[in-house]
Every structure is written in C-alpha cells, then in structure tokens.
C-alpha cells in the first residue's frame, strides 16, 4: 500500500526466475534482494524495539506486558519456531497474492491476515524481531538467542512457507505456457 518492501512480499516473485532458469547468477540476484530487504526490515524493527525500551512513552504495566508477550515467543523450541513460521510465511504470501484482487480493500486483507497470524500464535521473522529485539535491548535476553533459537529457524520457516509453496504454485501455473512457448520457438527455428 505504501510501496514498502516486506520480506515475504519479495520472495514469491523473486524465486520464479530461479525455477525457470536455475543459474548461480539468478541465485545471487535472489540472495542480494532478500539480504537487502531483510536487513532493512530488521534494522527498522530493531529501531522500533529500542525506542519502545528507552523512550518514556509507556507505563510500567505496558512495558511488563511487552516483556511477557515477547518471552512467550522464546518458549518455542527451534523446531516449533520453524513450523510456526511456515504458517505465517504462507499467510503473508497469501496476503500479497490477494492484493491485486483486493483493490481498495487491501487494508481489510492486511488486518485479516495479521489477525490470523496473531490468532494462530505463529512466528514471523520481521514481526517477531520487534519482540525479541525488545528483550535484547532491555537485558532479558542475550544477542545470540536472537540468532538461535529465534531468527534462523523462523527465517527458514518463513522462506519455506512464504516462498516455496507459492513459488511452486505460481511456477506450476505458467510452466506449461513456458514449455509450449519454447517448443514453438524451436519449431520456428527449424522451419527457417
């Protein structure tokens, strides 16, 4: 809506060239895009979490609630983080997939999907990073626990759920068209 770049938003479209033509160059382009977008999202979430921790805008009860919510995320094992992240990655990818048809109702789609992510109590690399960075900045959690057990399994799960499921579906939809087009081009070359 605001032309912001979400991590999962860039996973589906960016993977299709690799599925069509799996080259090291295409993989490199994908990893560069993912790295830039993910770094930007994580920097933004870290700044927000730091601001929540140091700025005097929340009363002690609210800060306590932030910490309790954030600590609940860390009760998951790495396997649970991964499995939950598959679901949230799929939901975010579904949201992005629905945008073209949503028109003016995009905000309704965003509210619906983020509500489902919260309702299902799933993990997401970007949303969850605010929670975990908050714990790091207030001293409740060491930095290395942001990386493991949170970030790496959650990122892998989001990629599996948000990227591969939708990219496979999208590629399956166009695979026959691509194959038929290549056959037609090859036939045209033979007749010349």
Is 49 a residue whose pLDDT tops 90?
A: yes
Spelled out in words, what is the top-level CATH class assigned to the domain 9-190?
mainly alpha
pLDDT at 65: 97
Q: How confident is the model at residue 7 (pLDDT cuts 50, 70, 90)?
A: low
Residue 15 near residue 163, CB atoms below 8 Å: yes
The encoded tokens of residue 63 equal: 């800060």
CA nearest 69: which of 126, 119, 135, 143? 135
The domain limits of the chain are: 9-190
Q: Which of 94-103, 124-133, 159-168 has the lowest mean pLDDT?
A: 159-168
- Spatial distance between the Cα atoms of 158 and 181, rounded to a whole number of angstroms: 33
Is 11 a residue whose pLDDT tops 70?
A: no
- Spatial distance between the Cα atoms of 60 and 83, rounded to a whole number of angstroms: 33
The 10s digit of each residue's pLDDT in 99-129 is 888 889 999 999 999 899 989 999 999 989 9
């Amino acid at each position: 809506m605001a032309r912001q770049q979400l991590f999962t938003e860039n996973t589906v479209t960016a993977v299709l060239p690799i599925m069509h033509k799996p080259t090291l160059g295409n993989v490199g382009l994908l990893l560069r895009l993912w790295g830039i977008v993910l770094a930007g999202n994580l920097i933004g979430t870290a700044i927000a979490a730091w601001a929540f921790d140091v700025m005097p805008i929340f009363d002690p009860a609210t800060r306590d609630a932030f910490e309790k919510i954030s600590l609940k995320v860390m009760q998951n094992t790495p396997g649970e983080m991964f499995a939950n992240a598959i679901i949230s990655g799929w939901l975010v990818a579904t949201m992005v997939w629905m945008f073209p048809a949503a028109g003016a109702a995009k905000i309704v789609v965003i509210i619906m999907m983020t509500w489902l992510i919260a309702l299902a109590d799933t993990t997401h690399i970007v949303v969850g990073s605010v929670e975990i960075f908050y714990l790091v900045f207030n001293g409740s959690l060491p930095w290395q626990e942001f990386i493991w057990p949170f970030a790496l399994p959650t990122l892998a799960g989001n990629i599996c759920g948000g990227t591969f499921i939708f990219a496979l579906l999208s590629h399956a939809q166009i695979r026959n068209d691509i194959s038929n087009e290549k056959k037609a081009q090859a036939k045209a070359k033979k007749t010349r």
